[in-house]
Structure 1
Amino acid sequence: MKVLTLRQHSPHASLLGELLGPDFEVRGVADVKKDSLDADVLVTTHLSPDEASAATAKLVHVPGAGYEGVAWNSLPDGCIGANVFCHEVPIAEYVLHAALSRVFAQHRPGALSDKTWPRAYLQREFRGELYGARMTIVGTGHIGQEVAKRAQAFGVATTGINRSGRAAAHFDTTAPIERIDEFLAQTDILVLCCPLDDTTRHLFDRERLARLPSTSLLINVARGGVIEEQALYEALRDQRIGAAVLDVWYQYPKTVDDDMAPSRYPFAELPNVSMTPHISGWSRGLLDRRYREIAENIRRLKQGDALANVIWPKR
């Protein structure tokens, strides 16, 4: 069985090959062309319509949770799509770190010397607390539940927003997406960890962002497109939102030589914005966990068994 890992995932072919063993041919393809997609399995986060229609794969496996970059409707009949998680714990830790960093924002670490210690001690400022804060989490899946579990340990009240309003573990309250506006005005910390699709693209536009308190903290570990780009920049620039921690963006490079900013707007100039390069789930051990699950799914495909985390065809 032939397996290709594509583009930025091409360096991981050796890891997947070790996990699958000698019965599988695994190769990385950094420079993807339509005539280079002849394989049983493609491991990728992006396939254009032309690439998808040229593929012969029985399985397209996304090596992460987000799958909006694949033109699923253009894949050949009978092709299955699957994704994988394993990143919810490091992302949840990132979110809590972001929230705690905001609490301690006015206290910059530094050495205490005979010159700085007296003033630092006698004129120290009161800081905030996470205890008693109200956190609204959009998305109650793997990531949302891990965030809520950790937030509750700090005494944070958690509200989960999902499509159905169905209850989920570790949330004090859950509500359907249609009721989201009811909760925003009482939100201290807004965490976005939902998928990006037609129902969530620009879910937060200018009007919805305006419902947040001016002291609120927004943490986006979902996708940039969940928030309208210009509206977010202007709300932060004008301090209609207290602060934001942004790990997901609007423009992504294809190579390290691309001359490209993460947004069309200068978020880096704003003092109330923390920017990270899509690293919230990028922890040591992540690749091994993910590729073990991918390898198991590929073995299931070869054996004719049911696959895990099937996302295409839609059920």
Structure 2
Amino acid sequence: MEGERVTRLLLLAGKQSMKKADFLAGRLETDWRIEACDPAADRAAFERLAPEAEAIVGGYIARPWPATPRLKLYQIPFTGHDFLEPEVLPAGCRVCNTYEHETSIAEYILLAMLEWEIGLSKTAARFRERSWDGKGPAEGPVHGEVRGKTVGIVGYGHIGREVAIRARAFGMNVIGIGRREQPTPDLLDWYGTTMEIDRLMAEADYVVVACPLNEATRGLLDADRLGAMKPTGVVINVGRGAIIDEDAIYDALKNGRIGGAVIDVWWRYPGRDEPNPRPSRHPLHELDNVIMTPHNSGWTQEQIDRRWVFVASNLDRIARGEPPENVVMTI
């Protein structure tokens, strides 16, 4: 209320969260005192601010943590939360993640399939270099099409649904598997649990990996499962690198046992000790049947804005005493 001292402290923890202080200040409808720090660079600031915070927005923060008795909300401004260490948070704290990446990633996946079939970038580069190359309009390179192809979604959820909507519009067949038993969604030709993954691997022209990483999915696509794919089949991984066995996929790609892969999520990432590692211990970058991107399949400005609008709305819910959305864990 006007004239009343604001006691709720919002801590933006980490380099990415710190950048959004002004954005949140302009979006929040409730009163918060916004502080920001990077725990990796200024541990003293984190240890001073965290005990007073009612909400923290951030990702992974290394131990040790100070006691945070007032903390009601740990808001992750992205989707993954496999890094979370619940024991550092106080009882009653709710952990929420943020989606809003589904449409961006679905567009990336459709682009990947279209590029694989049509080869637009390679054709354009060749035409620039060679012009007509002695061939007329109906004699140029023949390319494929996605119409009639089958896309199999491993982990049919938020992303999978958006992929299915777009794939259907292109005349594709869509199949999917997930953890829960449920009737086949209208967008799918068939749906099964993970018990039917081998069937999906065998039927799909494109296998889209969109499930979360956990103990059940780590190494889910191993040598046997990759071996069940069509020899022309393509894996598209937008989930997590470790869902696919690193040795097995390199072997399958190098020896032509599958058609190719489009990989956006990896086994190795930059760190303090190695700021620019290769994303795999194998030389995938030397293979011509791999499209590689730096974990940016969903990274559009529109998606970033949608996520932080959601973060602001969840902070408002907490301030008003309402339950937050996207709760992944209550401590």
TM-score after normalising by structure 2: 0.87
What corresponds to 1:72 in structure 2?
A: 86
Of the structure 1 ranges 177-186 and 65-74, higher mean CA displacement relative to structure 2 is found in: 65-74
* Whole-angstrom distance in 2 between the partners of 1:239 and 1:215: 9
What corresponds to 1:60 in structure 2?
A: 74
* Whole-angstrom distance in 1 between the partners of 2:106 and 2:170: 13
Larger radius of gyration: 2
| 8 Å contact from structure 2 (residues 80, 212) kept in 1 | yes
SS at match of 2:123: coil
Paired letter, 2:286: E
Moved over 4 A (4+): 53-56, 110-115, 254-257
Identity of aligned residues (%): 35
What corresponds to 2:4 in structure 1?
A: none
Of the structure 1 ranges 294-303 and 42-51, higher mean CA displacement relative to structure 2 is found in: 42-51
Of the structure 1 ranges 40-49 and 268-277, higher mean CA displacement relative to structure 2 is found in: 40-49
Q: Could you say if the C-alpha distance between residues 154 and 22 of structure 1 is closer, same or farther in structure 2, counting changes exceeding 3 Å?
A: closer
* Whole-angstrom distance in 2 between the partners of 1:128 and 1:24: 55
- 1:99-110 map, 5 Å: 99-105=113-119, 108-110=123-125
What corresponds to 1:138 in structure 2?
A: 154
What corresponds to 2:12 in structure 1?
A: 5
What corresponds to 2:208 in structure 1?
A: 191
From 222, 231, 243, the counterpart of 1:214:
231
| 8 Å contact from structure 1 (residues 44, 60) kept in 2 | yes
The answer for unaligned runs of 5 or more in structure 1 is none
Of the structure 1 ranges 145-154 and 40-49, higher mean CA displacement relative to structure 2 is found in: 40-49
Q: Could you say if the C-alpha distance between residues 200 and 118 of structure 1 is closer, same or farther in structure 2, counting changes exceeding 3 Å?
A: same
Q: Is the counterpart of residue 301 in structure 1 residue 318 in structure 2?
A: yes
Paired letter, 1:35: E
The answer for unaligned runs of 5 or more in structure 2 is 1-7
| 8 Å contact from structure 1 (residues 145, 171) kept in 2 | no
Q: Could you say if the C-alpha distance between residues 206 and 257 of structure 1 is closer, same or farther in structure 2, counting changes exceeding 3 Å?
A: closer
| 8 Å contact from structure 1 (residues 192, 220) kept in 2 | yes
What corresponds to 1:153 in structure 2?
A: 169
Paired letter, 2:297: S
Q: Could you say if the C-alpha distance between residues 263 and 69 of structure 1 is closer, same or farther in structure 2, counting changes exceeding 3 Å?
A: same
From 251, 256, 274, the counterpart of 2:291:
274
| 8 Å contact from structure 1 (residues 4, 13) kept in 2 | no
| 8 Å contact from structure 1 (residues 215, 243) kept in 2 | yes
* Whole-angstrom distance in 2 between the partners of 1:119 and 1:255: 53
| 8 Å contact from structure 1 (residues 60, 79) kept in 2 | yes
SS at match of 2:84: coil
* Whole-angstrom distance in 2 between the partners of 1:75 and 1:99: 42
Q: Which digits, 9 at most, give the CA deviation of each residue in 1:223-265, with x for residues without a partner?
A: 1111111212221111212111111111222469813222222
Q: Could you say if the C-alpha distance between residues 207 and 188 of structure 1 is closer, same or farther in structure 2, counting changes exceeding 3 Å?
A: same
- 1:229-244 map, 5 Å: 229-244=246-261
* Whole-angstrom distance in 1 between the partners of 2:316 and 2:131: 65
Of the structure 1 ranges 223-232 and 7-16, higher mean CA displacement relative to structure 2 is found in: 7-16
Paired letter, 2:57: V
Q: How many residues align?
A: 313
Q: Could you say if the C-alpha distance between residues 131 and 20 of structure 1 is closer, same or farther in structure 2, counting changes exceeding 3 Å?
A: same
From 67, 81, 92, the counterpart of 2:95:
81
From 38, 58, 83, the counterpart of 1:30:
38
Query: 1:49 offset after TM fit, Å?
Result: 5.5
| 8 Å contact from structure 1 (residues 12, 28) kept in 2 | no
After superposition, the CA RMSD in angstroms is: 2.4
Query: 1:48 offset after TM fit, Å?
Result: 4.0
Q: Could you say if the C-alpha distance between residues 260 and 204 of structure 1 is closer, same or farther in structure 2, counting changes exceeding 3 Å?
A: same
Q: Which digits, 9 at most, give the CA deviation of each residue in 1:92-122, with x for residues without a partner?
A: 0000000000001385114479962532646
| 8 Å contact from structure 1 (residues 189, 216) kept in 2 | yes
| 8 Å contact from structure 1 (residues 204, 227) kept in 2 | yes
* Whole-angstrom distance in 2 between the partners of 1:84 and 1:22: 20
